[in-house]
Structure 1
Amino acid sequence: MPFVSVIVTAYQYRPYIVEALESIAHQDLDDNKYEVIIVANYDKGQVSRYLCNGWKFIYHRTQEVR
């Protein structure tokens, strides 16, 4: 089976991001067969409990539209 990268993007914090991460965490796939990368424009505090699984968090500052 190939290695899978799951990329979760989030603009501003919304409650459904936790539901999405919980869904990923409960997959039957072995942990060494996939990685999870969370890209968001908010502090990782809201999702920090998932980062202990080895998941990666990338902060992306959103530029304002002028």
Structure 2
Amino acid sequence: MHLDDFVTEDGIACIRVSADGEGQSLKTDASARAVPVHRKLLERGLVDYAEIMLRHREA
């Protein structure tokens, strides 16, 4: 998983499962998807942390 895999789709925080990033692969093309981030992970700040890390990377 890479920071770029954190996306928002239709206002829902998701983790993108794809072969787009370095070292990422899928069993089949049909495996690509966006998985909603679980409520407990949202409550614990996973998406906020990813956003902070992205800002630091871009700075």
The structure number with the bigger radius of gyration is: 1
Larger RCO: 1 or 2 (CA < 8 Å, sep 6+): 1
TM above 0.5: no
The structure whose residues are more often helix, as a share, is: 2
